[in-house]
């Protein structure tokens, strides 16, 4: 049977673009459909714009540090509009680079939504169908709002890059990495940030000591973290029964905003907003009530309450592709679905939701299908960073996970004030921690809370993936004076588990 393409990729994000390019470079005829902007979540509404905002939000600290070191430096006002213009110009540039790379590899681009019709047929837009020997689904995921009355008034992460202006007050619902990163970003930009975290601490799943230290640092930055707290209800302040809250009352403690819908404009329903361009329409004042009984008013509410795979209305039923409990596409170690011609990679499979993982899965798919070298992606020991201030870098198991498995471990940990903070007030404490197997002496986990922890954990990850033992760390001569030297100078365990 002859097909229009050897490979058709649905989704032009991190995983899809890499897989399409690499497959095309083997000589395969490749088509790719992207319904929004090339580059996907990472480039357009995730890692890249987020990190640029992290940089922007860090300058007040740098000016304060410069002052402490004797510089006559002053911090002026932050011009959000100017920054946003530069941010989007950079995203445009990156999107163009992605397109150029695809063109250069001779991938045919279709700027349209694509859905499956059967195991070898893809419908592009309304009226075009193509056939492909292999179909790769790389449609990513989307942020979800919780089932809370008035949730339509909340923003999601996509919206944060599109705000008309910065709010004065922001409630962030959620305690995961996206919530914490935006909390630090917005606090750094001068926004008064409150967080409602359902659990007992931020960053569930990360090392307990690390997240505790980070929460302390975030609170020191003025972020008002309420743990054990969920949002139960919200509405636009003017629509609330009983009308606006008198200023100065408890309920106004989040700060009453000056922004609102233009007179006569109605709220926008979720299904009316295909993208986040109307984020500012959701500007408050937004009245909220929480499980702890407090009600407060904020300019904006951001939901960072999880993401769901983009599998709705994708024709997966028609093609017979099996979905999992969370609507993710179920795949085997080689990213193959139950339908032999259909593969899936990246966030849509809900394995590990990180850009480098989606890229690796794309490359492994090409090795397997187009280079005849069956390659499974190893999802163990993936390092990651939370770009808060300070950052949290981590790889491997936490102390709690190792204890839960019942493996005897030695914990090496230290907290200290880095030299750079010698002249600066504030907690400024950093943490380095190694979780070491008592039996094999292998380093099972490494957790760092410090500025540039993301950079440090990348390096530590190489050693840990190679199976480094604590003694390998000890034999490594320190680089002095650095923060990271503590990683190779911790002589005695602080406890054994």
To the nearest whole angstrom, how small is the minimum distance from the Cβ of residue 155 to ligand FAD?
Answer: 12
Smaller CB distance to ligand FAD: residue 139 or 295? 139
Helix 177-188 with 47-68: angle, nearest 10 deg: 40
Rounded CA gap, 313 and 327, in Å?
Answer: 11
Of residues 31 and 285, the one with the C-beta less far from ligand FAD: 31
| Residue with Cβ nearer ligand FAD (369 or 413) | 369
- Checking DSSP bridges between strand 443-450 and strand 430-437, what pairing results, if any? antiparallel
Using CA of residue 307, residue 312, residue 314, residue 317, what is the dihedral sign? positive
Nearest approach in angstroms of CB 348 to ligand FAD is: 6
Applying CB under 6 A, which residues contact ligand FAD?
A: 10-16, 33-36, 40-42, 46-47, 50, 113-115, 138-140, 157, 178, 310, 314, 346-348, 353-356, 358
- Cβ proximity to ligand FAD, 316 vs 402, nearer residue: 316
DSSP string, 85-137: HHHHHHHHHHHHHHHHHHHHTTPEEE-S-EEEEETTEEEETTTEEEEEEEEEE
Give the active site residue among 110, 220, 327, 480.
480
Q: Which residues are annotated as a binding site for NAD(+)?
A: 174-181, 306
Residue (of 159, 164, 132, 186) closest to 24 by Cα position:
132
- Under DSSP, is residue 63 helix (H, G, I), strand (E, B) or coil? helix
* Binding-site entries for FAD: 51, 347
Angle between helices 355-370 and 14-25 (to 10 degrees): 30
Element (H, E) at 183: helix 177-188
142 is catalytic: no
| Minimum gap (Å) between residue 112 Cβ and ligand FAD | 7
Q: How far is CA 41 from CA 47, 64, 84, 140, 352, in A?
A: 8, 33, 17, 8, 14
Binding site members? 51, 174-181, 306, 347
**Are the beta carbons of 3 and 120 closer than 8 angstroms?**
yes
Minimum CB–partner distance for residue 201 and ligand FAD (Å): 21
CB of 31 or CB of 46, closer to ligand FAD: 46
In whole angstroms, how close is the CB of 193 to ligand FAD at the nearest point? 16
Catalogue the active-site residues.
480
């Amino acid at each position: 049977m002859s097909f229009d393409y050897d490979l058709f990729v649905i989704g032009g994000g991190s995983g899809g673009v890499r897989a399409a390019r690499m497959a095309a470079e083997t000589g395969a005829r490749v088509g790719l459909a992207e319904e929004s902007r090339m580059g996907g979540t990472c480039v357009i509404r995730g890692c890249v714009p987020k990190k640029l905002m992290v940089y922007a939000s860090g300058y007040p600290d740098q000016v304060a540090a410069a002052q402490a070191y004797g510089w006559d430096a002053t911090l002026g006002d932050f011009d959000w509009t100017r920054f946003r213009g530069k941010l989007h110009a950079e995203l445009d540039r990156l999107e163009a680079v992605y397109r150029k790379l695809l063109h250069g590899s001779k991938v045919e681009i279709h700027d349209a939504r694509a859905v499956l019709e059967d195991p070898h047929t893809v419908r592009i837009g309304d009226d075009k169908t193509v056939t492909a020997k292999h179909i790769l689904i790389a449609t990513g995921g989307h942020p979800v709002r919780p089932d809370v009355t008035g949730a339509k008034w909340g923003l999601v992460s996509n919206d944060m890059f599109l705000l008309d202006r910065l709010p004065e007050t922001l409630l962030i619902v959620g305690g995961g990495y996206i919530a914490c990163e935006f909390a630090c970003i917005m606090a750094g930009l001068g926004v008064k940030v409150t967080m409602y975290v359902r659990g007992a601490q931020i960053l569930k799943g990360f090392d307990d000591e690390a997240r505790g230290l980070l929460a302390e640092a975030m609170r020191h930055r003025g972020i008002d973290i309420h743990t054990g707290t969920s949002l139960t209800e919200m509405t636009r302040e003017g629509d609330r029964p009983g009308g606006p809250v008198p200023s100065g009352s408890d309920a106004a403690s989040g700060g009453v905003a000056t922004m609102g819908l233009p007179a006569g404009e109605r709220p926008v329903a979720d299904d009316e907003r295909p993208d986040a361009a109307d984020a500012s329409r959701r500007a408050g004042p937004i009245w909220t009530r929480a499980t702890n009984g407090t009600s407060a008013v904020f300019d904006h509410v951001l939901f960072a309450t999880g993401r769901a795979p983009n599998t709705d209305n994708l024709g997966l039923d028609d093609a017979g592709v099996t979905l999992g409990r969370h609507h993710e596409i179920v795949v085997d170690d080689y990213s193959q679905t139950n339908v032999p011609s259909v593969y899936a990679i990246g966030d849509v499979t809900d394995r590990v939701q990180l850009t480098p993982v989606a890229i690796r899965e794309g490359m492994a798919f090409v090795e397997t299908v187009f280079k005849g070298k069956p390659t499974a992606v190893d999802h163990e020991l993936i390092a990651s960073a939370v770009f808060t201030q300070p950052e949290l870098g981590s790889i491997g198991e936490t102390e709690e996970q190792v204890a839960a498995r019942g493996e005897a471990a030695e914990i090496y940990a230290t907290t200290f004030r880095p030299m750079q903070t010698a002249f600066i007030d504030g907690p400024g404490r950093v943490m380095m921690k190694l979780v070491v197997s008592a039996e094999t002496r292998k380093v099972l986990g490494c957790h760092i809370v410090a500025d540039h922890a993301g950079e440090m954990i990348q390096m530590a990850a190489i050693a840990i993936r190679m199976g480094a033992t604590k003694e390998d760390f000890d034999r490594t001569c320190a680089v002095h004076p650095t923060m990271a030297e503590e990683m190779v100078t911790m002589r005695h365990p602080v406890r054994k588990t």
